[in-house]
Amino acid sequence: MKGGLDAELDRLYQLPLAEFTAARNALAKEAGSRAAEVRALEKPPVPAWAVNQLYWQRRPIYDALIEAAQGMRRAHAAVLAGRAGDVRTAGKEHDAAVMAAADAALEILLESGHPPTDATRQSILTTLRALPADEPPGRLTRVLQPGGFEALAGLSIRGAKAPLAKPAAKPAAPVHAKGSKEPPRDTKAIVKAREAVASATRTLKQAEHAAQREEFERARAAREAEKAGKAVDAARKALEEAEEELRNAETAATAATRKRESAERRAKESEAAVDTAQAAVTAAQQKLDQLER
């Protein structure tokens, strides 16, 4: 288990991106002899930070990606060494792991308030394809670029030396009988054939990567279209509800107006009745006064 400064560094790379610089500077003040090392740490760009969070927050997805990358490299190494290797299957498994990791990284960005741009999406993809990296997992400080086929395989085709055939003292006559020795291998042809396999594999990977990018963009466009469709449906529903509320309010206003008009009419009738009663009282009082005289 990590402890001390290493544990603090791990926590540093798990912080929200906006807090990195202040936290790094504060940590450098307490790092003693390693203060300069800590102060020199660069703030990760958004794509690298998102990939770091895969390691800290979605470890199973990250581990599956690393396992698929290592499997693909083993398959390439086997082909370069002249052994059987299922490069196509390993490549498909790696691509699937990359896409799953990319979706998770984009989700983390959205949750953290960093809506990804097209450039950010592409940088996340290239970084995921380049893993594992030399930097400690979860502490990337830069966007990575996938290496060439030789880097994927961990071997160098051009630098490989072909085995030299031992010189024979005398040219041997070709023997076709069963059980005879095979003619010496054409080492140059073997190296050339391996280079052809490597070149074809590179072309295949580039085509698969291009197809995967198009599929990623298609899936993203589909998600955005679905989101927009839902927004339209929600707006339409809100409009319908607003129109219904308007109709209800207009009906209520009409009813209230009728009630007011009816109340005003009854009030006028009541005032007239009061006037009539008042006149009757006045007439009665006058008559009473005449009789009492």
| Structure tokens given for 255 | 């009813």
Quickly list DSSP for 19-59. GHHHHHHHHHHT-GGGHHHHHTPPPPPHHHHHHHHHHHH-H
b/e burial code for range 134-150 (CB count within 10 A of at least 16 → b): eeebbbbeebbebeebb
Query: In this predicted model, what pLDDT tens digit does every residue of 137-189 receive, in sequence order?
Result: 999 999 999 865 434 444 444 334 433 344 444 445 454 445 555 566 787 78
pLDDT at 238: 81
pLDDT at 240: 78
Query: In this predicted model, what pLDDT tens digit does every residue of 18-70 receive, in sequence order?
Result: 999 999 999 999 989 999 999 999 999 999 999 999 999 999 999 999 999 99
Quickly list DSSP for 136-166. PTT---S------HHHHHT--STTPPPPPPP
In the block, which residue shows the tokens 């990359």? 98
Q: pLDDT grade, residue 196 (50/70/90)? A: confident
Rounded Cα–Cα distance for residues 165 and 236 (Å): 80
Rounded Cα–Cα distance for residues 249 and 271 (Å): 32
Rounded Cα–Cα distance for residues 153 and 198 (Å): 10
pLDDT at 152: 46
Query: In this predicted model, what pLDDT tens digit does every residue of 260-289 receive, in sequence order?
Result: 898 888 988 988 999 899 999 999 999 898
